[in-house]
Every structure is written in structure tokens, then in C-alpha cells.
Structure 1
Amino acid sequence: MPTIIVTHDVTDTDHWLASPRREDILPSLGASNIRTFVNPRDRTKVGLVMDIADLDVLFAALENPPDELSEAMSYDTVLPETMAILVSS
């Protein structure tokens, strides 16, 4: 099971940190062991580290997000165009 790092910007970091949405949505995409991170010098830059059961499922969902994922990202103030994903090698 690969581990990935996902970074992106948000417009409300405190809301993003407190939100339950990622724990509601990401496991359905095969994510587990989800941890959050915040850049201490620019709190609008955040990240996640997680294990992913199937990278193809995750990338397909990000390529053509279902409504539930789009709504969760919007609720969490994620700026999708800033997203970068790194996969453990």
C-alpha cells in the first residue's frame, strides 16, 4: 500500500483543520492513516500524508471528481488547482 503526500492551499486553515469531511470522504477512496500538516510560515499551505489502497482509484476520482468529493473540497476551502501529489518510491 503506497503512502502519498498531498499538498494544496486553503483559504481557511482553522476550518480545514477542524473539518470532519476528509475523514468522511477519503476512506471511500481507499485512504487510511490520514495525517494533517500546516506550513508554519504560510498557514494557507497545508498537506496530508496517507496510505492509499489503490492509486488508480484515487487518481480517477481526482481527474473527474464525484459531487461528494467536490463538495467536500469546497467545504474545506481547498483550492484544487494548487494540489500536488507525491507517491512514495
Structure 2
Amino acid sequence: MATYLITHEVDDVDAWMASPKRKEAFGPLGIKVREFSDPSGSNRVGLIAEIPDMAAFQEFMSSDAAAAAMKHDGVHPETLLILREG
């Protein structure tokens, strides 16, 4: 299992933080996440994600289901940055 830091911008931080979509989308892939927001009040948010299968994650992220989940949560996909630990 690898650990990743994922950041991106959203339309509404409070709505993104409260959304169940991440767990609905990532749970079946065995991905566990912890959510973070910028304390200075920007619309940048982040996740620490434990991803057991990066290929399955990448396949999911290119799917219509991922696009729909990101749209629901107000994610700006063009700002997505994924960094691997180590």
C-alpha cells in the first residue's frame, strides 16, 4: 500500500469537506483518505490517501464515475496534483 498526497481546488471548501462522495467513490477500491483544508481560507484542499492499487486508482480517475464525483464535489480537475510518499 502506498501513501499519496493529493491536492486540488474546489468551488466550496465546506461542501467538499462534508461530501460523502469520496468514500462512495474510493471505498470500493480499498482507498482510505484523510481530508485537509487550507487554514488561510483559500479554495485549495488536500487528501492523504492510502492507495492499495495505483493502476486501479488511475483507471477509476479516468472514468465517467470519477468525473461525475468530482463535478458533484466542485473539484477543479485541472488543479489536481498527486504526489507519492518516498
Normalised to the residue count of structure 2, the TM-score between the two structures is: 0.91
Equivalent residues, number: 86
Gaps of 5+ in 1: none
- Is 1:81 aligned to residue 84 of structure 2? no
Q: Work out the percentage of aligned pairs sharing the same amino acid.
A: 37
Gaps of 5+ in 2: none
Equivalent residue letter for 1:7: T
Q: Which residue of 2 aligns with 1:30?
A: 30
The 8 Å contact of residues 6 and 84 in structure 1, kept in 2 or not, is answered as yes
Give the Å deviation of 1:41.
1.6
The 8 Å contact of residues 5 and 87 in structure 1, kept in 2 or not, is answered as yes
Equivalent residue letter for 2:3: T
The 8 Å contact of residues 31 and 52 in structure 1, kept in 2 or not, is answered as yes
The runs of at least 4 aligned residues of structure 1 exceeding 2 Å deviation read none
Deviations 1:29-57 (A, max 9, x none): 3312x100001124300001010011111
Distance 1:40 1:26 in 2: 25
Q: Which residue of 2 aligns with 1:51?
A: 50
The 8 Å contact of residues 25 and 69 in structure 1, kept in 2 or not, is answered as yes
